A and B are shown apart, each in its own frame.
Chain A
Amino acid sequence: MNAIDWEITLLQALLYAAAAPLLAGWIHKLKARLQNRRGASIWQPYRDLYKLFSKETRMAHTASIVFRAAPYIVFAATWLAAAAIPLLSTRLASAAMADVIAIAGLLALARFFLALAGMDVGTAFGGMGASREMFVSALAEPAMLVAVFTLTMTAHSTNLASVIDFNLQASSLLRPSYMFALAGLILVAVAETGRIPVDNPTTHLELTMIHEAMILEYSGRHLALMEWAAQLKLLLYGVLLCNVFFPWGIAVDTAPGALAGSLLAIVLKLLLLGVALAVSETVLAKMRLFRAPAFLNLALLLALLGLLSHVILEVGL
């Protein structure tokens, strides 16, 4: 661990925060096109954030300190979790600081405070959103961890940088366990980032919303931080899927040329992922809440199948 690693780490963390709204804008734009609309510019999320940061922040009479602190905690925890996932280079100091279980823990910390903030004002919607969020995540988190366990048991490490290094050197990533884990993790990512068919990020229809219900009372810079954290989370899951399962192009050192190539590679991968997400969101409809367990059980089942096919078929190889 030397100074340049920490510099790369800091650079990557800043890049995460800067690029998160762009991915959201790209998906918005694609979805609009698929629905035969022109749609807003892909820079629109930046304008929205700027607008929200400069607006006045107001709080309900009944809100407490938890409501006020939550946006900062949610953003800090999500950002830290993102910073520990290799974006450009696997020479990442923060990957040793927080391994994949700690990343899941940090995301859980963010969710914990998000749900508490939802319940703080004491409205029916906030409680409803918190209840549903914790319900969905309680089913999604084990699926995510099990899918990740498959990778970590293959690479013999829970450090994501080491996992990616291992995958880069592996002769083939076409293992049955990886296919199952990838499928499971995609379903989890959809559920955790609040996308269709589990939640709809654009809805404000009271009875169907989950994430939006929790942040309904927020305004101004608080709302901006919450929105930004949600965009970060989307980018985080995108990078996790892209860089772990399709690691090609990522730099293994800190040479500027390699980093530039790595940036190009991840941008391409994320653009493609955005297309896939926009298409799936356009052709699918949101499910009823009580269909979500079946969706998430499928994710858990796929992840478990991946794990079992790893420990039974592949360990001896």
Chain B
Amino acid sequence: MATHPLWWAGAAIGLALLSSLVSLFSARQPGVLRWLVSPLFALAGLSAVAAGLLALIDKDVATATLPLGLPWLPWQVRLDALAGFFLAVVGTISFAVGLYAPGYLRGFEGGDDSLPALGGFAGLFLTGMLLVVLADDAFLFMVAWELMSLTSYFLVVWHHDHAANRRAAFLYLLMAHVGALSILLDFGVLAALGHGFSFSAMRDAELSFGWATATFLLAFFGFGMKAGLVPLHAWLPEAHPVAPSHISALMSGVMLKVAVYGFIRVVFGLIGQFHWQWGVVVLVIGSISALMGVLYALMQHDLKRLLAYHSVENIGIIFIGLGLAILFLSTGHAVIGTVAFIAALYHTINHALFKGLLFLGAGAILHAAKERDLEKMGGLLRRMPWTGLFFLIGCISISALPPFNGFVSEWLTFQAALQAWQLDSGVLRSIVPIAAAMLALTGALAAACFVKVYGVAFLGQARSRPVRRARPVPLSMRLGQGVLAALCLLLGILPTFFISLLNAVPEGLLGHGLQQATSHGWLWLTPVSAQTASYGAPLVAIILLLVLVAGLWLFGRGIRRVRRCDTWDCGFSQPSSRMQYTASAFAQPIRRVFGLLFHIEEGLEGSQPDQQRYRLKVSDRAWGLFYLPVARLVERATRQVVRLQSGNIRIYLGWTLGTLLLLIWITV
């Protein structure tokens, strides 16, 4: 029994709920809070990983009916390879967060904010995410989805002293529910056509092109809203950074992936047909999200906001992969479609790992120096070497540099895009390479952004007093980061191993895997064929290491002592920390070239020449171009609706009767 994947999934949910309950009932016992809640959370994550791995290895589909729900609509759960993969993603990050939390939360002890509430909602949040992935009927899916959205709202608003946080949380709640509404409508269409709320009924539904497109668009809007695709993304960089950092890691690293799961489940699993028009839509929106995400990230100097914008970028890259998959599958190129699909899945777990790692790193800085603003950091590598090392690994991974994991998934995406010559339509043949060019630009800009982050925060000299006095963080926080950093390296140098695991997902969903990708041994990754492309990730890593060691031995003679001297100062005064390039200065050339895409306000404040200060504010164009017009439209519409409200109860009853009659007339 204990080897059954559903048993482990059940254990994960049980442990998450237990962690939540223990937290809520231990307000008086800080010891219990510290030493029981987070370990239970980590164990829940570990069980979820076990469930996911077993499901991926077994390739079996396990189902169960829960004794919960409505009498005629019991909740059903189903654990297939796709669900297993996402369980593993959720579980891995939750495990690392559970390890990290005890140290991080000590910084909040004795503060105004309630720690029991934080632990309670975090446990429920994890429960919600696990249930979304396991759900096999629309009813349980929506309940779990709402559980996830509502608990994350309370986590976002946890620091509720600042009005800005409350405003961000409200915006988040609003957007989450606009998205949920769209998902609900989506399931409505599928349930009506499939005559049932269970996913198995929906799978059997016969959809015409029109209805299928309507379901696709509703799913893309609803899940895209939650995932933070441009132009719907503006809530994301407001909401994710204000939560405590380990929760930010969960939200950016995992919750966005649950939205990706929903999209894959509905479009690849339930609708079951593909059209190239959909592929183009997903590809275009994905490319724009990737590019805009990284450009806005470059303009930020609040570390956590910057990381949140990078989530927009990476979700865009995942959707580029999914768009390519739809495009190739709809035109009958099953192999290439599978390559693109695997690329999207690989980037999903990669992003979860390195974004989780980077948010935990940002939390470590926040813990040690109480600082989120890059402009006040500097020299942290010498103050906190372990965090510095792990953060560097995160930066290299997210910049898609070999031999780390981000490179593997971008490489696979490029390989899929470069098969565009197989397409028949000239228009599609041109769109796909242009998307690949945008992906290349995104990757290069991401590298620029993380040189900025690492260079300004960890290198150079400290720019403020608390940063200069930062202390290394406790062991538990280092462990949490270390686990994720090790996984980033592992997924980067052993891609063949992980892809043969991942193969179960397209096998279950599309009916065929990617056997040729790993057919030349564990050294060679050959997604299409050995002639087309190969990447020997372990060899690249080993040779890099060998050259490095040989270089150190030859020229460095081990680590020889190097005499220190003063920095070159051009013969003037000794350089001070204020002479260093700041984060805004670093991004200035890019700000100037891509100026039209931002809303930039800059100028000088103060009238006296010696007291003038430079002021710069870069804001998101999505507000002016999308959010505010929609908000104005809604306000205008509500003003029209107000006319119905006369205050007279008879008229209200009349409206009710009219609506009832209309509904009866439509349905009968």
Contact = CB atoms under 8 A, between A and B. Distances in A.
B534 A99 contact: yes
B415 A138 contact: no
Interface stretch (B242-250, B364-372, B564-572): B564-572
Contacts of A96: 524, 530, 534, 536
B539 interface: yes
Interface stretch (A23-31, A102-110, A249-257, A265-273): A102-110
A123 interface: yes
A153 interface: yes
Contacts of A62: 379, 460-461, 567
B459 A66 contact: yes
Contact of A101 (B414, B551, B588): B414
A75 B531 contact: no
Nearest to B450: A112
A56 B563 contact: yes
Interface stretch (A35-43, A142-150, A167-175): A142-150
Given A97-B536, A119-B455, A124 B437 contact: no
Nearest to B449: A134
B552 to A, nearest CB: 6
A312 B430 contact: yes
Interface string B391-410: 01000100111100001000
Given A80-B544, A115-B451, A134-B447, A311 B430 contact: yes
A238 B375 CA distance: 40
A80 B589 contact: no
Interface in A258-276: none
A56 B562 CA distance: 8
B536 A142 contact: no
Interface stretch (B122-130, B134-142, B573-581): B573-581
Given A61-B567, A68-B562, A138 B534 contact: no
A315 B567 contact: no
A62 B443 CA distance: 30
A59 B562 contact: yes
Interface residues of A, number: 81
A157 interface: yes
B421 interface: yes
Contacts of A127: 455, 460, 580-581, 585-586
A205 interface: no
A315 B421 contact: yes
A68 B396 CA distance: 18
B456 interface: yes
A117 B444 CA distance: 18
A156 B581 contact: no
B580 A290 contact: no
Interface string A127-148: 1101110110111111001100
Nearest to A136: B589
17 contacts: A57-B563, A59-B565, A60-B568, A64-B379, A64-B381, A75-B547, A79-B547, A98-B402, A109-B401, A112-B399, A119-B456, A121-B460, A122-B461, A142-B444, A149-B418, A158-B532, A315-B421
Given A75-B551, A149-B436, 9 more contacts: A59-B564, A72-B548, A80-B547, A115-B455, A127-B580, A130-B451, A146-B440, A156-B531, A157-B532
